[in-house]
Homo-oligomer: A and B are copies of this chain.
Amino acid sequence: MTKAIIDDVANLAGVSIKTVSRVMNKEPNVRATTREKVLKAADELNYKPNQSARGLAGNKTYLIALLYDNPGPSYMANIQTGILETCEAQGYGMVLKPVTCEGEVPLLEQVLDFMAHSRVDGLILTPPVCDDVIFKSLLTEKNIPYVSVAPPDRGDKLAVLIDDRRAAAEMTDHLIDLGHKKIAFIKGDPAHGAGKLRYNGFVDAMKKSNLPIESDLIEEGMFTFDSGIRAAENYLNLDPMPTAIFSANDEMASGVMQKLSEKGYHIPKDISVVGFDDTPISRQIWPPMTTVHQPVRSMGRLACEILLHAVNNREGERTLEIPFNMEFRKSSGTLPA
């Protein structure tokens, strides 16, 4: 069977090609009876508008792009899976666009160059791309629709986030409840707003319990495994050492755990270590790590949903806050005797 083309649908429905295109692109100004005739004909012929043709006709490409700068592999896998769930349900394709936030070429230029080749209907920005306020205001100026995943504040028209600050405070409370007072904190990459929010949550909880923030217990990390290793080396040189270490993500926490294990420390008997994100490594090391579950897959799915809704309806401001979960595992325990 030859594949039906738009002419076939127009012929069968007795309307112009332009009208078929309008119906397929869900444009207004088509009478309900005409719309029905066209849809019936399209259905009968099993007609599927091809994407390139759809792109030209309705000024849409039915493609969206995911913008990212060096995320962890499991974050990337989860956010993609979530976005694709929405894309597949709505007949969209997702194109990947790696960018460099710290490079010489401004973000907007990288994106415009990309969009000149791959036209897309909208952008999904992940951290730290969505931390660039200037970039986002330029996108708005150029009328390029975007949604931010885990932005540093609530200033975006479209955003999906968790309450990083409250989650970090709850994790700190967990350590305090276990009797810890000398609690260390490893900050994340300063380019990521979420890292700052997590640090603020830690400070909130320490202050609430009248515990001091000791400057030599606060390490500047980069969200990487190696920066966790380095932080642990610094803690190992302290006397007394902290009794608990809260790392702003799991990747750094696993570096801490490796270094402590190498030096013969038992977790959590000698020292507690907790993370943030619930990436696979947190479950796969020994002992399994206490952490905050960030529902990245759902965040991707919902971010794509509100983006496509805004694209298709040319409207909408929406910030979705998704609940997080505490995952209490074996890397946190009571204060050593």
A residues with CB within 8 A of B: 48, 50-53, 55-56, 61-63, 73-74, 76-78, 80-81, 84, 88, 91, 93-96, 98, 116-119, 225, 254-255, 257-258, 261-262, 280-281, 283-288
Contacts and interface: CB of A to CB of B under 8 A. Distances in A.
Question: Among the interface residues A56, A74, A96, which one has the most CB atoms of the partner chain B within 10 A?
Answer: A96
Which 8 residue pairs are nearest across A and B when measured between Cβ atoms? Answer: A52-B55, A73-B77, A93-B118, A261-B286, A73-B73, A73-B74, A48-B116, A93-B95
Contacts of A62: 117-118
A52 B48 contact: no
A116 B51 CA distance: 8
B63 A95 contact: yes
A287 B257 CA distance: 11
Contacts of A81: 98
Q: Among A48, A119, A280, find the residue whose CB has the most chain B CB atoms closer than 10 A.
A: A280
Given A73-B74, A94-B95, A225-B283, 20 more contacts: A48-B116, A48-B117, A50-B119, A51-B55, A51-B61, A51-B118, A62-B118, A73-B280, A76-B80, A81-B98, A84-B96, A93-B95, A96-B96, A254-B284, A255-B284, A257-B286, A258-B285, A258-B286, A258-B288, A285-B285
B117 A93 contact: yes
Interface of A (DSSP majority class):
helix
Nearest to A85: B98
A118 B93 CA distance: 6
22 contacts: A48-B117, A51-B118, A52-B52, A53-B56, A63-B95, A63-B118, A73-B76, A73-B77, A76-B77, A80-B96, A81-B98, A88-B98, A91-B117, A93-B95, A94-B95, A96-B96, A258-B285, A258-B286, A261-B286, A280-B281, A281-B281, A281-B284
Contacts of A283: 225
A283 B281 CA distance: 11
